[in-house]
Structure 1
Amino acid sequence: MRNEKVWVLSDVNSNTLNNILIQNFFLQEEQTNIKIFDKIDDIKDLHAFEFYNDNQILYYAFEDNLMAEYTKNQCIEKDIKHLDVYHLVYKFLTSVFSKISQGEDIELVIKNSLENNPVDFAILNDDGSNPQSILEADIVILGVSRTSKTPLSIYMSNLGYKVSNLPLIPEIELPQEIFQIDPESIICLTINPDRLVEIRKERLKSLGIPHDSGYADKERVLQELEYTENVIKQLGCTHFDVTHMSIEETSEKIKNIMETRKGSK
């Protein structure tokens, strides 16, 4: 699958936030084409920065509202896909603290806030960590390891969808919740086996694990993809071959399906 281009811009005070983003989401799914600009500490640095469209997604985190607004305007002007990470987190925490200060139960406030925020919903329910969330999700994404389920889920959540994703592993039964929802809300990702072997080998290399691990073995990959085909038939769900599709292209196809489904109701 084609590697996504990611730019990360931040001031020194927001580096931790962006590092969490990079380590926990981009690198998990082989998003290795990442450019990091983490020394943009004032508006002068930002004015000197060269914004240009490289078919990338630009994530930025600035404490200064003027810097955030300037970045947003540059992205809009040059048609660059973008997300204000600092504002997203700040808005979420402000809402939580406000409710707590009014005397609401802390655990309940956090639980409700996570469940009602699409981005936090996707993070909380990543990689099959909470099968119950399948019943609450707008979209459920299935796929074997390294088909970019996580970044696709996060990207779709930024469009306002509550997304849960689930890994397909032949030795593990599908949760019963998957059979209780509309198949039209399920999207299964497939990929060319040779390409998947390459991606997994790169992943093992980045972790310092020998390439002869069963994880990147061709027979194992074929077994997993055969299982994927069986799941597609069993569920009667939509599926996409993402071998040559970017996350944006896949998300656009899913978005069209969701809008068509909504319009038919």
Structure 2
Amino acid sequence: MKIDNTIALVTGANRGIGLAFTRALLARGARKVYAAARDPASVPALPGVVPLQLDVTQPDQVAAAVALAGDVNLLINNAGVGQFGGFLAADSEEVTRQMLEVNFFGVLRMSKAFAPVLAANGGGALLNVLSIVAWINGGELAGYAASKSAAWSLTNALRHELAAQRTQVLGLHMAFVDTDLVRAVDGPKTSPELIVARALDGLEAGLDEVLADERTQLTKLGLVAARPSYLPQAA
């Protein structure tokens, strides 16, 4: 899919990866970007950007977004929440449920709602922001990883279900990105701008999947190693 002259909707567009997507789409010639956020006032004022109030956990707000943004031919499901903690923590069920509601059910809700819109506008494309932890779960981000695993499975299913209407479905995987979610984490982080550039390059190249950094690429290869990358590794 070519970005030039496209009309996109980006969820969670007020900061981090979502804001980077908004800016990059405009720089590549997008005609309009609906920048969705729970608080539309938090979306920076940019030419070509239409702030849109949207909480992906609220069906009425999703329906309102469909009614307003019926010209969209690119949907970027970026909105997500994360929290550190393992499955044995006292609050793990509640925390995991909250993350699944946004990171899985929110993506499902948006994809179902906008699939007919994409079809009506020629097929277009759907891009889901996933993670390296869709494949590996070391327990530090246990609930978040589970929600991204579910979103990866959803992305793979949507690729089949939307093929008949010629909607391109792209899954974006990456390791730590320099955003608020991992601000306190030590270790290498990739800039949101670089992640987004690689994602949009992949979209324009017609890819199904983008592995946006070296760690993610190595982890994917490691899934079929003698000792797969999702198992504890020797020190």
After TM superposition, the score normalised by the length of structure 2 is 0.36
Going by fraction, where is helix more abundant, 1 or 2? 1
Mark the structure with the bigger radius of gyration. Answer: 1
After TM superposition, the score normalised by the length of structure 1 is 0.33
